[in-house]
C-alpha cells in the first residue's frame, strides 16, 4: 500500500453561503507520478444546487486538469511532473464556483483504487456501478515492464526510461522505454485503454504512431535518453506495446483505432499478463547485438 494525496473537486454556486456539492476527486502520488481524476457519472444531484453556467465552469476546470494529468507528451516538450505543490496551488487558487479541498493523505495500491475508496465513502454518485476490480493504469503497466527488464537481467544502464526519439529535423516523440547502448534494440510503450480522457488518449496514440511511422519509413532518427545520452535507432527496431484492454464500448472504439496504428507499425502487442516477454525479447536482442559487435 502506498500513501497518496487527494483533493475533492467541489461546485460552489454561491461562494458567500459556502454551500457546495462534491463533483469529483483528484488523486496522486508525487513520488511515482501515478495521478488520476474522476468525476460523478450522474449530475442530477448537482443540478439541484447548480445552474448551467456553474456546471460549465466545473466542466472547464476538469477538462484543464485532465490535460495536465493525462498530457500528450508526443511532438511537444515533456510536461513538468505533478507534485504536492501543484495540488496545494489548486486548493489556494480556486475560491469561486469551483473549489478544491485541502490535500489529504489516503492509502491505496494505486490511484484508481484510491478513487474507488473516495467514491464509496465520500462522493455520492447515484448511478455509479460497483467495480469488480480497479482499472489498470498506465503506471501499473510501466511497473510491469520495469519488472520484466529486471527479471531478464537487463543492465540498468541499458534501460532508457522516458527516452525521446527524434525523427528527421522536426518530429520527436517520447517512448516509455528504449533498450540499448549506442545502438537501440527495443522500444517499449505502455497504453491503458481503461481510463477517462479518451480523446486525449486517441490523440496521444496517433501522434506517437506518426513519429514512429516516419522512423519505419527510413527517416534518419536517434534516441536521446533523459540524461542526454544519444543512441542510434534503425527503422526495423523491435517495437513492443503492453496494453490494458478496454472495459467500455467507448474505450473499445479508441482501442480498435489504436490497433490500426499498431498493425501499420508492425508492433508486438502484449497483455499485462505477458509483459515479462518484453524483457525476455530485449535480452535476446541484446545478446544478438553483442555477438555481432564481437
Contact 175, 165 (CB under 8 A): yes
User: 184 has which bridge partners?
Assistant: 180, 233
Q: Given pLDDT bands bounded at 50, 70 and 90, which one contains residue 71?
A: low
Q: What is the pLDDT of residue 75?
A: 46
| pLDDT value at 247 more than 90 | no
Region 219-223: mean pLDDT is 93
pLDDT exceeds cutoff 60 at 48: yes
Instruction: Mean pLDDT check: name the lowest of 24-28, 192-196, 245-249, 261-265.
Output: 192-196
Q: What is the mean pLDDT of residues 130-137?
A: 64
> Do 282 and 276 form a contact (C-beta atoms < 8 A)?
no
Mean pLDDT of the chain: 87
Kindly tell me if the per-residue pLDDT of 184 is higher than 70. yes
Q: Give CATH 3.40.1350 domain extents, the chain.
A: 138-293
What is the CATH number assigned to the segment(s) 138-293?
Answer: 3.40.1350
Mean pLDDT, residues 263-283: 95
Ranking 18-32, 40-54, 100-114, 258-272 by mean pLDDT, the lowest is: 40-54
In tens, the pLDDT along 75-88 reads 445 567 789 999 99
* pTM of the predicted protein model: 0.66
Cα–Cα distances in angstroms (integers) from residue 259 to residues 174, 224, 246, in the given order: 19, 27, 12
Mean pLDDT of 232-236: 95
pLDDT at 15 over 50: yes
Determine the Cα–Cα distance for residues 195 and 234; give it in Å rounded to an integer: 32
**Is-contact 188 145, C-beta < 8 A?**
yes
Query: How many residues in total does the chain contain?
Result: 294
Mean pLDDT of 232-239: 96
Quote the cell numbers at residue 165: 526519439
Mean pLDDT computed over 2-20? 88
pLDDT band of residue 158 (cuts 50, 70, 90) is very high
Q: How confident is the model at residue 53 (pLDDT cuts 50, 70, 90)?
A: confident
Amino acid at each position: 500500500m502506498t500513501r497518496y494525496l487527494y483533493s475533492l473537486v467541489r461546485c460552489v454556486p454561491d461562494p458567500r453561503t459556502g454551500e457546495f456539492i462534491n463533483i469529483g476527486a483528484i488523486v496522486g502520488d508525487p513520488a511515482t507520478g501515478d495521478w488520476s481524476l474522476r468525476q460523478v457519472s450522474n449530475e442530477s444531484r448537482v443540478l439541484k444546487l447548480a445552474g448551467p453556467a456553474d456546471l460549465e465552469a466545473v466542466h472547464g476546470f476538469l477538462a484543464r486538469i485532465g490535460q495536465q494529468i493525462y498530457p500528450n507528451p508526443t511532438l511537444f516538450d515533456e510536461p513538468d511532473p505533478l507534485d504536492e505543490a501543484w495540488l496545494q496551488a489548486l486548493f489556494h487558487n480556486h475560491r469561486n464556483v469551483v473549489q478544491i479541498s485541502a490535500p489529504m493523505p489516503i492509502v491505496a495500491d494505486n490511484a484508481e483504487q484510491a478513487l474507488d475508496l473516495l467514491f464509496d465513502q465520500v462522493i455520492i454518485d447515484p448511478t455509479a456501478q460497483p467495480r469488480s476490480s480497479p482499472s489498470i493504469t498506465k503506471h501499473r503497466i510501466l511497473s510491469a515492464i520495469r519488472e520484466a527488464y529486471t527479471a531478464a537481467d537487463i543492465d540498468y544502464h541499458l534501460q532508457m526510461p522516458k527516452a525521446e526519439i527524434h525523427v528527421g529535423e522536426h518530429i520527436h516523440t517520447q517512448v516509455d522505454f528504449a533498450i540499448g547502448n549506442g545502438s537501440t534494440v527495443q522500444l517499449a510503450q505502455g497504453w491503458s485503454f481503461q481510463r477517462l480522457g479518451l480523446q486525449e488518449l486517441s490523440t496521444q496514440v496517433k501522434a506517437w504512431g506518426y513519429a514512429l511511422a516516419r522512423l519505419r519509413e527510413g527517416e534518419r532518427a536517434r534516441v536521446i535518453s533523459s540524461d542526454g545520452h544519444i543512441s542510434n535507432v534503425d527503422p526495423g527496431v523491435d517495437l513492443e506495446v503492453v496494453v490494458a484492454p478496454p472495459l467500455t464500448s467507448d474505450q473499445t472504439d479508441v482501442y480498435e483505432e489504436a490497433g490500426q496504428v499498431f498493425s501499420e507499425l508492425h508492433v508486438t502487442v502484449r497483455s499485462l499478463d505477458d509483459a515479462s516477454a518484453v524483457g525476455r525479447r530485449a535480452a535476446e536482442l541484446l545478446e544478438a547485438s553483442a555477438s555481432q559487435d564481437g
